[in-house]
Chain A
Amino acid sequence: MAITKEDIERLADLARLNLTPEEIEKLTGDMETIINYSMNKLNELNTDDVQPMEHVLPVRNVFREDICEQSFDREDILKNAPEKAEGCFLVPKVVE
């Protein structure tokens, strides 16, 4: 399967990744190699009658009692914010 620069640009847009022209060039070739390797390899196996397996070990939903517990201090959480104001995360204007 051939992967084009446009494919990579579309994927990068979906993944919200800004790529330089050099990166797009390199990643186009890399992705083609990885995609074809994994597809061709797995297609050697007939999996028609196999159920997909999400969890290898039995998992069940975990509930706890709905009790108030100590949480993080707002100031501690905001310490890592790139920009903040009045106890909130600051983002660029989104509504015109």
Chain B
Amino acid sequence: MELTKLTACQAADKIRKKEISVPELTYAYLDKIIELNKKIGAYITVCGQEAEKQADIVQKKFDKNEELPLIAGIPAGINDNICTSGVLTSCGSRMLSNFVPPYDATVIKKLSQNHAVLLGKLNMDEFAMGSSNETSWYGQVKNPWDPERVPGGSGGGAAAAVASKMACFALGSDTGGSARLAASFCGVVGLRPTYGTVSRYGLVAFASSMDQAAPVTRDVADCAAVMNVIAGYDPLDSISRDSGYEDYTSFLENDVKGLKIGLPKEYFSGAVQKEVKEKVLDAAKVFESLGAEIEEISLPLFEYALPAYYIISSAEASSNLAQYDGIKYGYRAQQFEDLVDLYKKSRGEGFGEEVKRRILFGTYVLGAGNYDVFYNKALKVKRMIFEEYQNAYQKVDIILGPTAPSTAFKIGEKTVDPLDMYLIDAYTVPVNLAGLCAISLPCGFDSSGLPVGMQLIGKPYGEGTILRAAFTYEKNTGGNGGIDRGV
């Protein structure tokens, strides 16, 4: 039995039946990391010794027949923008290449309280800014399905690690689609929780009005199990929702009868690749055959979400990243003339090109004279988009579309013109802007054998409904659009 092929739920079951032990499972993952990480580049830091130690501790608890949470003893990878006490948290940036947080993010505390085994920290686009993992200071992550292609971004390390069996599940983040896009390109599951559902405490800030940590998993059942661990009220996050949390696994029902699924015609026209469109429409047919009602809807403001998202997220990023000045922590330039020169050189040397581009754009849109034309205008368009989705949810329960306009593209293919790269996010950012939740899951392969991802978009706090629909699709197709194929 290849232990790393088991999902978290399957492994949890076998641990309880004493068919496998936590140390065996952990060693299997550490071996896989040794075998593959040089090639894929998913991990920035591997915590081998700590993982082995934790595995022994958890196994002893199992040996004493203690009742333990489902993810106890399950080996996980963590995006490198989630603070881990005593372990480098670089955000994929030279700026934080020496930053060892003195505290754990709330989501890490929750994983620890649930006795998960942390394998290490995962590569990502610098400060989560990118769609292809090409902006990391720690080098390119390769797509496990084709090493000449990108894994998507910004959470490329998370999705590639889960796809290539270097982690049983991962925690990523999703500010504009980072977890969903990478999940789509790597053929795994990624969920964007409704804003306020998962604590942001210790998740390094990018665009605070949209930031959320996000599970990246092998299948939908694992996704629900991880959500049960990481969701919940946190007094340390001022926008944390203080009630209304549910048992996400209770929604794992094989039933979509009567569920109204909307297909926005704008999601299926224009830039989307023909094969991607076909696979997602095939999935719609699967839902229909299982008793769901499919309805074509229209979201004419779809194309305006991207410019509004880039204005708002860059404005927030330029403000959030002002904290990196070479004084209290992070990179400091060696040679400087005075305090201001220290700031400028530390930031100039510490940040990469994409981060600089967004800081400059954010500074520009917030400037006097530009504020109304750009930032305020974007906030108005955000309201229009929000209302358009609210109206759509009067008619349908869920919206279905592609996660990305294409499958994974070649490394270097979209690095010349930044707009080419930004357009990859067109299908994911409306969710973040409008305060919705969404899950990306595999729905087949294109003719080159690359995974295609589809996205089920739910109302605010509608995680249960999208999990149920995703679970039903997976149950009835075997996942991956019915093709049983692994990396």
Interface residues of A (CB under 8 A from B): 8, 11-12, 14-20, 23, 26-27, 30-31, 33-35, 37-39, 41-45, 47, 50-57, 59, 61-62, 64, 72-73, 76-77, 79-83, 89, 91-94
Contacts of B383 in A (CB 8 A): 50-53
Pairs A–B under 8 Å by Cβ, sample size 18? A16-B325, A16-B347, A17-B344, A17-B348, A17-B359, A31-B360, A34-B419, A37-B307, A37-B419, A42-B304, A47-B381, A50-B383, A50-B384, A52-B382, A53-B386, A57-B435, A80-B99, A92-B339
By secondary structure, the B interface counts as helix
Contacts of A92 in B (CB 8 A): 336, 338-339, 342
Tell whether B209 is near chain A: CB-to-CB under 8 Å: yes
Tell whether B189 is near chain A: CB-to-CB under 8 Å: no
Flag if B328 contacts A18 (CB, 8 Å).
Answer: no
Given contacts A16-B344, A45-B384, A81-B328, contact A56 B435 (CB under 8 A): yes
Flag if B308 contacts A15 (CB, 8 Å).
Answer: no
In the complex, per-residue mask of B43-76: 1 if CB is within 8 Å of any chain A CB, else 0: 0000000000000000000000000000000000
A73 to chain B, nearest CB (A): 8
Of the residues B306, B325, B330, B378, contact of A80 by C-beta under 8 Å = B330
A2–B49 CA distance with the chains assembled, in angstroms:
55
Nearest chain A residue, comparing its CB with the CB of B314: A34
Contacts of B326 in A (CB 8 A): 82
A64–B308 CA distance with the chains assembled, in angstroms:
34
A57–B459 CA distance with the chains assembled, in angstroms:
12
A89–B325 CA distance with the chains assembled, in angstroms:
12
Contacts of B331 in A (CB 8 A): 82
- In this complex, how many residues of chain B approach chain A with their Cβ under 8 Å: the count is 71
Q: Beyond the given A17-B347, A61-B238, could you list 11 further A-B residue pairs with CB under 8 A, ordered by the A residue number?
A: A11-B363, A16-B347, A18-B347, A18-B349, A30-B418, A39-B374, A42-B307, A42-B308, A42-B378, A47-B377, A81-B328
Of the residues A34, A52, A76, contact of B418 by C-beta under 8 Å = A34
Contacts of B100 in A (CB 8 A): 79-80
Given contacts A18-B348, A92-B338, contact A76 B102 (CB under 8 A): yes
Contacts of B373 in A (CB 8 A): 39
Contacts of A79 in B (CB 8 A): 100, 102
Contacts of A34 in B (CB 8 A): 310, 357, 361, 418-419, 422
A15–B324 CA distance with the chains assembled, in angstroms:
11
A62–B235 CA distance with the chains assembled, in angstroms:
8
Of the residues A15, A41, A47, A94, contact of B339 by C-beta under 8 Å = A94
Flag if A15 contacts B380 (CB, 8 Å).
Answer: no
Nearest chain B residue, comparing its CB with the CB of A61: B238
Given contacts A41-B303, A64-B235, contact A31 B378 (CB under 8 A): no
